[in-house]
Amino acid sequence: MPSPPLAKLRILLGVSGGIAAYKAAELVRRLRDAGAVVRVVLTANAARFVTPLTFQALSGQPVRSGLWDESAEAALGHIELARWAQRILVAPASANTLARLAHGMADDLLATVCLASTAPLAIAPAMNLRMWAHAATQANVETLRSRGVAILGPADGPMAEPESGPGRLLEPERIVAALAALHGPKPLAGRRVLVSAGPTCEDIDPVRFIGNRSSGRMGFAIARAAVEQGATVHLVAGPVHLPTPAGVAREDVRSARAMRDAVMRQIPQCDIFIAAAAVGDYRPTEIAAHKLKKSGKALVLELTENPDIVAQVAALKKRPFVAGFAAETQNVEKHARTKLVRKGLDLIAANRVGNGVGFDADDNELTLIWPGGEEHLPRADKLQLAHALLARIGALRAKSAKRRR
């Protein structure tokens, strides 16, 4: 039996105030299922939402809250607690706790332990969507990120109040998966990965464009998974509404030609190129200088073919490992195989789009095809699929390195 992903890892779970605090109870259970030893520290506000007793029962360990509890300090002082922790996870992190941590405050037990510990810190924010979007919160998140803190989430969706948007606590199982990935092996350490993601937009006039339904989520998940596996990652993204995964260098582009130029600039510095972008095949031959007016007649637009970025990279003499995607609505694998050969790729990830999976969904299902083999990855979270895709790329690169020796 393989050991669980967080086997014997001593995790200090900091729970701060907010309605999502109840989900931290489930999180304790899942962390323990993953093998971790969990001690919980509550902020005063969190203790108003869930009682310390709940966490004590679930963690099997004493729960701490105040900095001034003499008997608790005598048993395990806050500095020992900071030393005990091999990882600190703050979930949920309220806007207030995020701000306190970003500014190095030590005004309660949790903040003090975070300051006194050298353990890697991961934070799963949860708050009202406007509090999350506020420039002050975003600046605090950036400060924490730049210090190497892993920011897990938040997720997008309905809130306790009748509104919906980013600010929800990531589901406990996804928090555990993210921690496991951070803690796990780093097979891509020292490797440089370039990812293209999202759609491209080809302008017709100053207000209209030709685009497509790619959300960029698969490419962003690949970028994040590559960082989690230890790679240095550069992400070239078309116009999408997605936050940059922690540790990823992101470059935003709009058109296929701008994406080609950005990719080509990075290619000499990269070991693996994964083309997950849905690049527009055509662009208007001319971009109208002013907004086109209705004329009462049919409008004929002349389109010019765009460069095929992934094929151009694959045709280079000195080139990285090249993986592409084939999003198809029918005969998925047949079309993918043809593309693998025509574009000269090392691997292609084929997926069906248009039936609830693929574009704009959290889940996907892929068939990886390479010269000499294939692997089906059943429907799963895009981040999980991204890890599996990178594992396959790692195995193929190792095999070809062996052949070259």
Catalytic residues: 212
- Residue 2 Cβ vs ligand C5P, minimum distance, rounded to whole Å: 33
Segment interacting with ligand C5P, rule: CB under 6 A, options 84-92, 180-188, 275-283, 357-365: 275-283
- Residue 219 Cβ vs ligand C5P, minimum distance, rounded to whole Å: 9
- Residue 362 Cβ vs ligand C5P, minimum distance, rounded to whole Å: 20
By CB under 6 A, residue 370 contacts ligand C5P: no
- Residue 234 Cβ vs ligand C5P, minimum distance, rounded to whole Å: 15
Distance (Å, whole) CA 389 – CA 282: 29
- Rank residues 22 and 282 by Cβ distance to ligand C5P and give the closer one: 282
- Rank residues 59 and 306 by Cβ distance to ligand C5P and give the closer one: 306
By CB under 6 A, residue 324 contacts ligand C5P: yes
- Rank residues 90 and 275 by Cβ distance to ligand C5P and give the closer one: 275
- Rank residues 55 and 359 by Cβ distance to ligand C5P and give the closer one: 359
- Rank residues 97 and 196 by Cβ distance to ligand C5P and give the closer one: 196
By CB under 6 A, residue 352 contacts ligand C5P: no
By CB under 6 A, residue 277 contacts ligand C5P: yes
Segment interacting with ligand C5P, rule: CB under 6 A, options 50-58, 68-76, 119-127, 277-285: 277-285
- Rank residues 270 and 275 by Cβ distance to ligand C5P and give the closer one: 275
Binding flags for ligand C5P, 174-213, as an x/- string (CB under 6 A): ----------------------x-----------------
By CB under 6 A, residue 310 contacts ligand C5P: yes
- Residue 159 Cβ vs ligand C5P, minimum distance, rounded to whole Å: 35
By CB under 6 A, residue 256 contacts ligand C5P: yes
- Residue 244 Cβ vs ligand C5P, minimum distance, rounded to whole Å: 19
Q: What is the 3-state secondary structure (H, E, C) of the chain?
A: CCCCCCCCCEEEEEECCCCCHHHHHHHHHHHHHCCCEEEEEECCCHHHHCCHHHHHHHHCCCCECCCCCHHHHHHCCHHHHHHHCCEEEEEEECHHHHHHHHCCCCCCHHHHHHHHCCCCEEEEECCCHHHHHCHHHHHHHHHHHHCCCEECCCEEEECCCCCEEEEECCCHHHHHHHHHHHHCCCCCCCCEEEEEECECCEECCCCCEECCCCCCHHHHHHHHHHHHCCCEEEEEECCCCCCCCCCEEEEECCCHHHHHHHHHHHHHHCCEEEECCECCCEEECCCCCCCCCCCCCCCCCCEEECCCHHHHHHCCCCCCEEEEEEEECCCHHHHHHHHHHHCCCCEEEEEECCCCCCCCCCEEEEEEEECCEEEEEEEEEHHHHHHHHHHHHHHHHHHHHHHHC
Question: In this chain, which residue has its C-beta nearest to ligand C5P?
Answer: 324
> Would you state the torsion angle of the CA atoms of residues 60, 65, 69, 74, taken in this order, to the nearest 10 degrees?
40
By CB under 6 A, residue 275 contacts ligand C5P: yes
One-letter amino acid at 185 equals: P
By CB under 6 A, residue 306 contacts ligand C5P: yes
The residues of the shown chain that bind ligand C5P, judged by CB under 6 A, are 196, 256, 275, 277, 279, 281, 306-310, 324-326, 339
